């Protein structure tokens, strides 16, 4: 079946791409084309490079070596070999292959820059990137090889190598094969890079930026799921929703906090469990623990951080990153726009956010399992405590993940290892920041899923009291996916994975929104 995203065609070259467009191509297989108006800019840029190609005056990237070897003047008859040699030598990645969606994002973003005409490539070179994306041919790019400065060099070089018909790729079905074989099967002519082109194909922040676009998209969805998990925990633990009142939240006008609190109010609307303890004479607790009461402050701060990261991504998506770059008035100028610092900083910031949201989620789960703090539920939510252990070890899994997320929150961008004989003496490590953020978001997904599963068990143990329509719909979704509800101990890992799939797919958010009759913020 063809999805709406797959039937979409994203046009590059005349305007900045949006985050959603990057995700559509990278993750969902949307089509790609270069805008008709962009071809003239590509031709103009190439004409400028061609005019310099035979010049006896040294021009970086055209008639010199690279990095610390830029002092070497390259004779005219070696300048084409120079470009191919650059790509082959820089395709030096190692480690496990990275995900297909990351490589597709990287290729799309490099294509976007090529199509601006500021890099000086031939139109055939830009067209080859379109052809690979359209054919579902994905170069094999490795985990290690980028320092996040001078661009994501090794990852981009592996892509450029495939465009040359060399190296290894995956086809649409994920099968590895030689690039030459895949290109021939798709009817794609390999590119022979001319002057300047080798450098133009590898000098960009495209890998870290592509991962930032994917991460912003994923985190936005996970923060809605975090509000659902928090609402279920507040409900199941007999917490109060009074603290989420709009007038109280307005006393601290943080935008994300307001949105999260509004979500919590909507999710808990109509809860029979909550209504059962509204009478202040029947409920003697003055205030809830921070993990319940401060949920919108933490999730809201995370929202605001994600919004800032999206602003950085939008600015980078509007950027032309190459060195040297061809200016609008025809100059060929060296610059430092390839430095990944702006992207690296927010990638690290999002890893901090993921760790902290997960940390609060784990604390709510732990409260469900402690008889002294769960307001009348059995220890560990066990059917027969002592014989049964309930969700005791599910919380251990959460705790292990949260501990790992704290380690992953240590910033990569504060590190720098000089390279290229000290010519490149300060680097961003943005690629590394992006790689660890992907692991962080996977961990956050799993932590939230365990909270949702635990809270659902707690809510069902409150029967005959009924949950709100929204939280009840989430419990129903778990039931519909095969969860058996409270009862004697059984193999717990498959239940956790069911919850993980429901959170990761967006199903938890979808069913809650349907029950509410309105979208979450």
CA distance 362 to 448: 8
CA distance 58 to 334: 13
User: Which positions are annotated as active-site residues?
Assistant: 60
> What residues does 177 pair with on adjacent strands?
169
CA distance 176 to 190: 18
Q: How far are the Cα atoms of 125, 275, 352 from residue 13, in angstroms, in the given order?
A: 14, 56, 34
- Candidate CATH numbers 1.10.3720.10, 3.90.1210.10, 3.40.190.10, 1.10.275.10; the one for domain 4-204: 1.10.275.10
CA distance 338 to 152: 9
One pLDDT digit (tens) per residue for the chain, 521 residues = 455 566 799 999 989 999 999 999 999 999 999 999 999 999 999 999 888 876 666 666 666 666 555 666 666 666 678 889 999 999 999 999 999 999 999 999 999 999 999 999 999 999 999 999 999 999 999 999 888 887 899 999 999 999 999 999 999 999 999 999 999 999 999 999 998 899 899 988 999 999 999 999 999 999 999 999 999 999 999 999 999 999 999 999 999 999 999 999 999 999 999 989 887 766 666 689 999 999 999 999 999 999 999 999 999 999 999 888 899 988 888 888 888 899 999 999 999 999 999 999 999 999 999 999 999 999 999 999 999 999 999 999 999 999 999 999 999 999 877 877 677 777 888 999 999 999 999 999 999 999 999 999 999 999 999 999 999 999 999 999 999 999 999 999 999 999 999 999 999 999 999 999 999 99
Token couple for 276: 């059962």
Token couple for 503: 């959170």
| Domain covering 212-516, topology | Fumarase C; Chain A, domain 2 (1.20.200)
Query: pLDDT at position 6, please?
Result: 66
pTM: 0.94
Dihedral angle, C-alpha 160, 104, 148, 350, nearest 10 °: 180
Q: What angle is formed at CA 444 by the lines to CA 440 and CA 448, rounded to 5 degrees?
A: 175
Of 444, 473, 196, 451, nearest to 325 (Cα)? 196
User: Cβ distance 11 to 35 under 8 Å?
Assistant: yes
Start-to-end CA distance of the chain, whole Å, equals 30
Burial of 272 (0-12, 13-18, 19+ CB in 10 A): middle
User: Cβ distance 188 to 469 under 8 Å?
Assistant: no
CA distance 51 to 196: 12
Q: Could you tell me which residues come within 8 angstroms of residue 392 by beta carbon, excluding any fewer than 6 positions away?
A: 369, 380, 382
Domain coordinates in residue numbering, the chain: 4-204, 212-516
CA distance 59 to 53: 9
Q: DSSP states of 159-218 as a string?
A: HHHHHTT-SEEE-TT--EEEHHHHHHHHTPPPP---TTHHHHTT-SSHHHHHHHHHHHHH
């Amino acid at each position: 079946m063809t999805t709406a995203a797959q039937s979409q065609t994203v046009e590059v070259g005349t305007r900045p791409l949006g985050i959603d467009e990057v995700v559509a191509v990278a993750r969902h297989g949307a089509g790609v084309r270069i805008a008709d108006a962009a071809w003239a800019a590509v031709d103009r840029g190439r004409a400028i490079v061609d005019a310099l190609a035979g010049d006896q005056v040294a021009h970086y990237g055209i008639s010199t070596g690279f990095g610390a070897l830029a002092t070497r003047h390259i004779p005219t008859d070696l300048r084409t070999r120079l470009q191919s040699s650059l790509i082959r030598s820089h395709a030096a990645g190692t480690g496990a292959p990275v995900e297909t969606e990351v490589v597709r994002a990287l290729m799309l973003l490099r294509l976007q820059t090529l199509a601006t005409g500021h890099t000086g490539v031939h139109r055939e070179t830009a067209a080859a990137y379109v052809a690979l994306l359209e054919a579902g041919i994905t170069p094999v790019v490795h985990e290690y090889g980028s320092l996040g400065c001078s661009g994501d060099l090794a990852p981009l070089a592996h892509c450029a190598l495939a465009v040359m018909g060399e190296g290894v790729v995956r086809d649409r079905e994920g099968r590895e094969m030689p690039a030459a074989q895949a290109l021939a099967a798709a009817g794609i002519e390999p590119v022979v890079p001319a002057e300047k082109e080798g450098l133009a194909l590898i000098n960009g922040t495209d890998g870290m930026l592509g991962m930032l676009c994917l991460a912003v998209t994923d985190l936005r969805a996970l923060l809605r799921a975090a509000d659902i998990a928090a609402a279920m925990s507040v409900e199941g633990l007999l917490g109060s929703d009074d603290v989420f009142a709009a007038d109280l939240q307005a006393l601290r006008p943080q935008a994300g906090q307001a949105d999260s609190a509004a979500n919590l109010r909507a999710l808990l609307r109509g809860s029979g469990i909550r209504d059962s303890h509204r009478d202040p004479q029947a409920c003697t607790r003055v205030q809830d623990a921070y993990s319940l009461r401060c949920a919108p402050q933490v999730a809201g701060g995370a929202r605001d951080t994600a919004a800032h990261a999206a602003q950085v991504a939008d600015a980078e998506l509007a950027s032309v990153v190459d060195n040297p770059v061809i200016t609008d008035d025809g100059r060929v100028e060296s610059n430092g726009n390839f430095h990944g610092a702006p992207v690296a900083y927010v990638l690290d910031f999002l890893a901090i956010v993921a760790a902290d949201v997960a940390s609060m989620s784990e604390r709510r789960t732990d409260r469900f399992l402690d008889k002294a703090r769960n307001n009348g539920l059995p220890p560990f939510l066990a059917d027969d405590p002592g014989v049964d252990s309930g969700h005791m070890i599910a919380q251990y899994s959460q705790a292990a993940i949260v501990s790992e997320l704290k380690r992953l929150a240590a910033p990569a961008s504060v590190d720098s290892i000089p390279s290229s004989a000290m010519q490149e003496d300060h680097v961003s490590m943005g690629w590394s920041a992006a790689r660890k953020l992907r692991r962080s978001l996977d961990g956050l997904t799993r932590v939230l899923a365990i909270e949702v599963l635990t809270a659902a068990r707690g809510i069902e143990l409150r029967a005959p009291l009924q949950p709100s329509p929204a939280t009840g719909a989430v419990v129903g979704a778990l039931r519909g996916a095969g969860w058996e509800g409270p009862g004697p101990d059984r193999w717990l890992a498959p239940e956790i994975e069911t919850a993980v799939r429901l959170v990761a797919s967006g199903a938890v958010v979808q069913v809650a929104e349907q029950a509410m009759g309105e979208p979450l913020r």
